[in-house]
Structure 1
Amino acid sequence: MRSRPTTSVGAVTTYLIATDSDDLFGLLDAAIGGTASLVRVSSGQAVRPAVRELDPDLVVLDLQIGTMGAMAVCKDLRLEEGAGRLPRQNVLMLLDRPADVFLADRSGADGWVTKPIDPLQVRRAARAVVAGDGYRHQPSPA
């Protein structure tokens, strides 16, 4: 798999956020909105067309989004990349529970954060995934 080129100095970084939750988008805007231009889509079906139009630096997928969730969206992006119809995308997935880690890994996500979302952790995860380092968060058992 080829990696995406890094964003050049002075270029605007764009993050595509796929969530139908206003609360989650507000949290993400507060956490990473100051570091990038955020573009929101509210359905999984809207991700691929938005990726084609924007070629974002990062795609952030909420696990539960309408009728096409993050796992299906990530697999769709990876299949399109494999067929040469899309450039490689950096994908950060927002998981609902630790048990979702296996599926996130199998779907080809570059990184994930498990809810509840910690804004500082999301910022670290976004930076790591954009840099090509990946990010795997699983909360410690209570």
Structure 2
Amino acid sequence: MEYVLVATDSDDLFDDVDASLGDDRCEVGRVNSGAAVFGAVRERQPDLVVLDLQIGNMGGMATSLHLRNEAGGRRLAPQRILLLLDRGADVFLARESEADGWMIKPIDSFRLRRAADAVADGRSWCEHADGRVDEGEPAA
């Protein structure tokens, strides 16, 4: 991955993602609202879009669906989307979001790196409340 876009209004979460994924070969950028994702994606065409479920005025689920709608209308290239969930019960929302993968917070560097690599490579990464992870074909 060369560029990852993170959409979160949490400084701590962004710092965790940046520390986990950012290095000499990968830049991690940020927007603070879901509404800002579309413009940022058009501008930079990230290898991966990481969406926090709870982002101010337009949450991760709505943002994921918006990106899918824009790609379906050929107004935007298809994106690889990883959704960060707040709790296990949010898995239902993640399934409806058309994201390629999701993980349940709190995140750790090892899991995030594995999830990000899977989704950026076109595979799914779907965590469940009981700790199981399904990897495989894209979820969307």
TM-score w.r.t. the length of structure 2 is 0.89
Where 2:63 maps in the other structure, the secondary structure is helix
Cα deviation code 1:75-101 (max 9, x no counterpart): 000000110100100000000011111
Distance 1:107 1:116 in 2: 20
What letter is aligned with 2:5?
Answer: L
Note the residue ranges of structure 2 that are not aligned, 5 or more in a row.
132-140
2:7 corresponds, among 13, 18, 25, to: 18
Note the residue ranges of structure 1 that are not aligned, 5 or more in a row.
1-11
> What corresponds to 2:30 in structure 1?
40
Distance 2:26 2:97 in 1: 25
8 Å CA contact 2:89–2:129 kept in 1: the answer is no
8 Å CA contact 2:87–2:129 kept in 1: the answer is no
Q: Which has the higher strand share?
A: 2
The size of the alignment, in residue pairs, is: 130
TM-score w.r.t. the length of structure 1 is 0.88
Where 2:4 maps in the other structure, the secondary structure is strand
8 Å CA contact 2:53–2:61 kept in 1: the answer is yes
Paired-residue identity, %: 55
Query: Which shows bigger deviation, 28-37 or 101-110?
Result: 28-37
Q: Give every structure 1 segment of 4 or more consecutive aligned residues whose post-TM-superposition deviation is greater than 6 Å.
A: none
> What corresponds to 2:49 in structure 1?
59
